[in-house]
Amino acid sequence: MSTIALEDLRHVFRDRLVWGAFALVTLLMVPTFWGLLGSSVHSVETRIANLPLDFRMYLVILVAVISYNAIVSEREAGTIRLVLGLPGTRRDLILGKLVSRLTVVLLTLVPILIMLEGILLLRTGEHYLGLYTPIALWMIFYAIVWTCFTIGLSATFSTQYRVLAALAVTYLSLSTLVDIWGALVQPVFALLFTGSTSTDAYATLGTASGPLWVRYAGRVNPIQTFQSSGRWITSLVDPTTQITNTLPNVFGICILVVFGAGPMLLGYYRFQRADLG
């Protein structure tokens, strides 16, 4: 596995697309955060807690570019047997690719997060490490989840187009860009718990004032879990903030784990039985 991981790392570090994505995401996140800190609408503490909401899409873009072709590109190029000729099995190939792509994700994301902390210090004169560190770790965890998800897709499908299509459909279905989740899934939960298809109660997601069913149903969606848990994350380390919604947020973390692990297990199962000839 280590041989495969090291070989893949060498390949990824030579990929201009990866470094282009790193540059693009950096140019998107850094100036955006600089501008947000200059606004007087929200406090610095609120801006830090809202980082998952502000940058949720950029993290997925970075992960997708790094991870989508991890396994499927070898199958399309016909080099999969050459890779499998290295010491290891199909399981080692998947694990090696996962380790290498996770390494690249961390090596690109962590410097961006350090830059954001630098901007925080420049703009405010304070580092806010106590609040910023747990949010940064939460963003890293989210990137790891999406990396596992994407590697699973790469092992499941036989062409890069199918991987990208599955990735795009999944993200669009869960995000608010086209609000498929809000139009089709949220009304179902509302009907089950209230007898009405009105989704007005979802406006309270992430607060302590909403009904209990919203706190759980809203976290079935991994993207909503990520973006709505910022205040809870910061409340764990801020003695001036009351800790609320602990059980719903723990439930949401479990959903995120399943979201990343499920496709990985499916990809492992499909790849083990795939005809690589």
- Answer yes or no: is 33 within a domain: yes
Q: What's the pLDDT score for residue 172?
A: 94
For 182, the domain range is 2-272
Question: Structurally, how many domains does the chain consist of?
Answer: 1
- Answer yes or no: is 277 within a domain: no
* Residues contacting 74, CB < 8 A, separation 6+: 80, 83
Provide the CA 79 distance to its chain's centre, in angstroms: 29
Instruction: Give the count of alpha carbons within 13 A of 37, CB side only.
Output: 23
CA distance 198 to 222: 21
Q: Which residues of 32-57 are buried (b: 16+ CB within 10 A; e: fewer)?
A: ebeebbeeeeeebbebbbbbbeebbe
- Answer yes or no: is 103 within a domain: yes
Q: Which two tokens stand for residue 76?
A: 């399309």
Q: What's the pLDDT score for residue 229?
A: 85
Report pTM.
0.92
Q: What's the pLDDT score for residue 84?
A: 56
Candidates 125, 139, 126, 129; CA nearest to 50 is 139
- Name the 3-class secondary structure at 135: helix
- Answer yes or no: is 49 within a domain: yes
User: Per-residue pLDDT for the chain (277 aa), expressed as one digit of tens each?
Assistant: 777 788 888 888 888 999 999 999 999 999 999 998 887 777 888 899 899 999 999 999 999 999 999 888 877 776 665 555 555 677 888 898 999 999 999 999 999 999 999 999 999 889 899 899 999 999 999 999 999 999 999 999 989 999 999 999 999 999 988 889 888 998 999 899 888 888 888 877 766 677 888 888 889 999 999 988 888 888 888 766 676 778 999 999 999 999 999 999 999 998 888 766 5
Instruction: Give the count of alpha carbons within 13 A of 57, CB side only.
Output: 10
Q: What's the pLDDT score for residue 220?
A: 94
Q: What's the pLDDT score for residue 179?
A: 83
By the 8 A CB rule, do 7 and 86 touch?
yes
CA distances from 126 to 40, 45, 92, 114, 121 (A): 17, 11, 45, 14, 5
* Residues contacting 233, CB < 8 A, separation 6+: 49, 134, 135, 138
Work out whether the CA dihedral 10, 11, 14, 20 comes out positive or negative: negative
Q: Which two tokens stand for residue 44?
A: 């610095």
CA distance 57 to 61: 6
